[in-house]
Chain A
């Protein structure tokens, strides 16, 4: 069965520091992978996605993610975090049968001054 694991429930980083949010997936075929961000009281906004090709994908707001098939991982990174990045981040895997999205439990990011 498809599943997504985000090992870190909550992460705190200092403003200006680098960030890496972890995501591991379980999927039998080549996965479609996504990162979404959710600000309080808002819906989910797509940050970036991986379908195929280059394993390092660039997204909005300065985020990037790297697909590593050997590790079944799709970690999200940002070189320098801004206070406005404080939010909850969700990793998701998409099934190519039906197209449904399965989400991880989310990682809440706090940014300290």
Chain B
């Protein structure tokens, strides 16, 4: 089965450091999402792209977060500088919105801990 690949799986970093999370979407999927999951807030949509162009990043703190798709095989989510409140699991998902029977496919996530 095709899968969405996220790296790294786990990341521990010190407050103030830059963190970059990567996602390889499924080949042929034109929509990529970034979600953040915490116990308190559940699954929050941070940003998403269609054909590599940002459609909506209103869920993302603009002062420290940035999301890009430098090419169709790579999406990145960067936090600079990181803060303890950014500790969460970050999920990437890809799909062809509602055009196929596959829905959206999620990666296994990056568990970020900021100390």
Complex formed: what's the CA distance from A105 to B38 in Å? 10
Q: Does A13 contact B (CB under 8 A)?
A: no
Q: Does A101 contact B (CB under 8 A)?
A: yes
Complex formed: what's the CA distance from A45 to B107 in Å? 9
Complex formed: what's the CA distance from A98 to B91 in Å? 19
* A46 touches which of B35, B97, B104 (Cβ 8 Å): B104
Q: Are B103 and A100 in contact (CB under 8 A)?
A: no
Q: Are B108 and A101 in contact (CB under 8 A)?
A: no
Q: Are B103 and A34 in contact (CB under 8 A)?
A: yes
Complex interface: chain B residues within 8 A of A90 (CB): 43
- Given the known inter-chain contacts A44-B91, A94-B97, please indicate yes or no for A103 contacting B108, CB distance below 8 A: no
CB distance from B27 to the nearest CB of A (A): 18
Complex formed: what's the CA distance from A102 to B44 in Å? 8
Q: How many residues of A contact B (CB 8 A)?
A: 22
* B45 touches which of A32, A44, A101 (Cβ 8 Å): A101
CB distance from B5 to the nearest CB of A (A): 11
Complex interface: chain B residues within 8 A of A99 (CB): 31, 50, 95, 97-98
- Given the known inter-chain contacts A34-B103, A49-B103, please indicate yes or no for A100 contacting B43, CB distance below 8 A: no
Complex formed: what's the CA distance from A71 to B43 in Å? 24
Question: What 0/1 pattern do residues 32 to 69 of B give for CB contact below 8 A with A?
Answer: 01010000001101001010000110000000000000
What residue of chain A has the Cβ atom nearest to residue B108's Cβ? A43
Q: Are B103 and A46 in contact (CB under 8 A)?
A: yes
Q: Does A80 contact B (CB under 8 A)?
A: no
- Given the known inter-chain contacts A32-B98, A99-B98, A100-B56, please indicate yes or no for A105 contacting B106, CB distance below 8 A: no
Q: Are A100 and B48 in contact (CB under 8 A)?
A: yes
- Given the known inter-chain contacts A32-B98, A44-B91, A96-B98, please indicate yes or no for A103 contacting B106, CB distance below 8 A: no
Interface set of A (CB-CB < 8 Å, partner B): 32, 34, 36, 42-46, 49, 51, 90, 94, 96, 98-106
* In the complex, the 7 A-B pairs of residues with the closest C-beta atoms, listed nearest first: A99-B97, A43-B106, A103-B43, A44-B106, A46-B103, A43-B108, A105-B42
